Chains A and B, each alone.
Chain A
Amino acid sequence: MSAIDVKGLTKCYGGKPVVDRVSLRVDEGEIVGFLGPNGSGKTTTIRMICGLLTPDAGSGTVLGHDVIRDSLRIKTQVGYMTQRFSFYEDLTIAENLTFVARLYRLHPVASEVDRTLNALGLAPRRDQLAGTLSGGWKQRLALAACIMHAPKLLLLDEPTAGVDPKARRDFWDEIHHLAADGLTVLVSTHYMDEAERCHRIGYISNGKMIATGTVDQVVRDSGLSTFVVRGQNLERIAESLAKLPGIEQVAPFGNSLHVVGTDQTALNKAMASLEAESGIRVSPGETSLEDVFIKFMSASNNKNSVVENQSPKDTGNRNGNTGGPARG
């Protein structure tokens, strides 16, 4: 049985579909990454899955319960971590967790709370008001609260935004640990390295699920090839390369350029002429997931005149300076 099996989920705001016939299957014990640009409908989809929003169309089951009718039953077995911190700022960490423990009818409350506090390293701050916590600590509290009742399914909406690398690593280790015990996780993220730690990913754009599969599958299906260019005067070369046919993205990575395109022959031709110049070395490179996503984003931008707000959120990659979508 799959933990999530929904078909054709649709949600409209102001007559416009912001989630458009999204279908998703997540098997038990699987960690699925949910990616897509800002405003593409990730949060809206997750809210429909956990019963916080009523879909305008679509059907399916979550943990075997009907996603439309059985939302109370779903809620008891799902842990949902909201994108925006939504615990009580005027309660302490321990008080917030006690509240949650009681809502889920955990027994005995005090020891469940203590266990959770210790497991997530929150114990030293147990009596601090949640409102005075730093951003990263708020995330930890939220995570603690949504795994405390041992849910079968975790829905995490950008759980690691603003969390330091060590805590992020710990968090993902914990997620994998829980998944090994059969927990299913659907996690939305903008971080490429996190996407790569998922068993599978789904990419949503303008409310439509446009790619699903393992990271390798998604990269392969994109049909992109990549070359790495090294040498002098890379800025000037980048500018001229971007204008050439067959080249869709040119992105500086430290002392090298990543050149990405779909049209294999045009790309090869451009690289061959570039290699002729002195002091330039061209070698075949590996297409990254980020390259694929940037292609998705520019493709959807060209297709629809809708201006998506693609403020280049830090993608968490090695250099994080890919800039906006490169023009093809």
Chain B
Amino acid sequence: MATPGDQPVASWLSTQRLSAVLAKEFIQMRRDRVTFAMMLGVPLMQLILFGYAINNDPRGLPAALVDNSRDHYSRAVVAAMETSGYYRFVEIAATAAAAEDLLARGGVAFVVTIPSDFGKRVDRNQHPQLLVEADASDPAASSNAIGALNNIVTRALARQRSSHVVPDSSELEIVVHRRYNPEGISQYNIVPGLLGVILQMTMVMMTSMALTRESERGTMENLLAMPATPTEIMLGKILPYLVVGAVQVVVVLGAARLLFSVPFLGSLTLLLTGVLIFVLSLVMLGYAISTVARTQMQAMQLTFFFFLPSLLLSGFMFPYRGMPAWAQVLGEFFPLTHFLRVIRALMLKGSHWHTIHGEMWVLVAFVIAFTGLALVRFRNTLD
């Protein structure tokens, strides 16, 4: 038998055979539109998104002011802090208790307290004091702002005093309280967050294959021909992953305690409730993805399409408060964002139900929305 193209069959590289494989791969790549779109659109989108959103020198951090002095010095200090760009006072007439609550809730990153004798001490060069309480549950977020503080306030006071012709010899003392994580140990922030990230990774990825695996292997036709309702199929496919999630929770929380000595101040029941709702929202999201995707490959891509921004915009890798407002709004659409707030509040701040219930309800809303989407998208036929 003659071989086509006069090439020896045994040659290790035949251009003809190579081009056959190449051509086939290109055709298949072109047919899979979703993959194609992902390859072109996603990198661009993510570059723009993250290039603008991520900021390692977070500015405009929300702060509350407890001003017991109320004179031109305190006004000057506040004005200078705002001008520096690091601080944005969202509450300027807070009582100490209200400010404390805001800090616990995560509404502000700083509480700046100006003592009543502040102005007197400045005038008399008696070591004026300024108290700054920082939410150090995310040490990276507040460190630059705190670092710059001494400079900002000293200059502001110097300007004030020069108009009063007072000699410039006083020593300003800024008392910084790093709340919730006094030593600024970054593991305290990262390890609880990791629980959320690990759960999200496995839960969404696994459940996103739930239906696509059936249709790709051809078993969907049989499954649909038998009397199983959409709800039964859905529950049957997601409940096993709740068990997987439970195991992960035990492992990660145990390791957080044993290896990293992460404090655990809040209620365990609340934490487990939060984890359960979070995991439910994740498996429902994964299942919703599997009703949309046509192949396992697409399901995987959609999962990553979701995964990366949630990692970057949720406050896990970069301080949430340091992102521009539009990125923060975007961040609100990821269950991880809300879960991070819940778990950090519970583990590091020892928060109670009344401070975190808002975030919990948002997570519940995610569960309902994803379930609705999945049930609407689920096709009971092969059409």
Contact = CB atoms under 8 A, between A and B. Distances in A.
A interface SS class: loop
Interface stretch (B193-201, B219-227, B262-270): B219-227
B382 to A, nearest CB: 5
Contact of B219 (A72, A87, A103, A104): A87
A281 interface: no
Interface of B: 217-222, 224-229, 380-383
B381 A86 contact: no
28 contacts: A51-B225, A52-B221, A52-B224, A52-B382, A53-B383, A54-B383, A71-B380, A71-B381, A72-B227, A72-B229, A75-B226, A75-B227, A78-B225, A80-B222, A80-B225, A82-B218, A82-B221, A84-B221, A86-B219, A86-B220, A86-B221, A86-B222, A87-B219, A87-B222, A88-B217, A100-B226, A103-B228, A104-B227
B226 A47 contact: no
Nearest to A47: B382
Contacts of B221: 52, 82, 84, 86
A80 B223 CA distance: 11
Nearest to A48: B381
Interface of A: 47, 50-54, 71-72, 75-76, 78, 80, 82, 84-89, 100, 103-104
B295 to A, nearest CB: 17
Contacts of B224: 52
Given A87-B219, A88-B219, A50 B382 contact: no
Contacts of A86: 217-222
A72 B381 CA distance: 11
A88 B228 CA distance: 16
B31 to A, nearest CB: 16
Contact of A82 (B222, B228, B380, B383): B222
B interface SS class: loop
A76 B382 contact: no
Given A52-B221, A54-B381, A103-B228, 11 more contacts: A47-B382, A51-B225, A51-B381, A52-B381, A53-B382, A75-B226, A78-B225, A82-B225, A86-B217, A87-B222, A88-B219
Contacts of B225: 50-52, 75, 78, 80, 82
Contacts of A104: 226-227
Given A51-B381, A52-B381, A103 B227 contact: yes
A75 B226 CA distance: 6
Contacts of B382: 47, 52-53
A89 B220 CA distance: 13
A82 B218 CA distance: 10
Contacts of B383: 53-54
B100 to A, nearest CB: 56
B381 A103 contact: no
Contacts of B381: 51-54, 71
Contacts of A53: 381-383
B174 to A, nearest CB: 64
Contacts of A87: 219, 222
Nearest to B224: A52
A201 B221 CA distance: 25
Lowest 9 A-B CB distances belong to which pairs?
A86-B222, A75-B227, A80-B225, A76-B227, A103-B226, A86-B218, A86-B219, A86-B221, A82-B221
A85 B218 contact: yes
A145 B156 CA distance: 83
A65 B227 CA distance: 15
Nearest to B220: A86
Between B220, B221, B382, the greatest number of chain A beta carbons within 10 A of the residue's beta carbon is seen for B221
A162 B221 CA distance: 21
A84 to B, nearest CB: 5
Nearest to B382: A52
A142 B228 CA distance: 18
B232 to A, nearest CB: 9
A52 B229 CA distance: 13
Contacts of B217: 86, 88-89
Contacts of A82: 218, 221-222, 225
A100 B228 CA distance: 10
Between B220, B221, B225, B381, the greatest number of chain A beta carbons within 10 A of the residue's beta carbon is seen for B225
A71 B228 CA distance: 11
A290 B226 CA distance: 35
A323 B383 CA distance: 35
A50 B218 CA distance: 17
A100 B227 CA distance: 10
Contacts of B228: 103
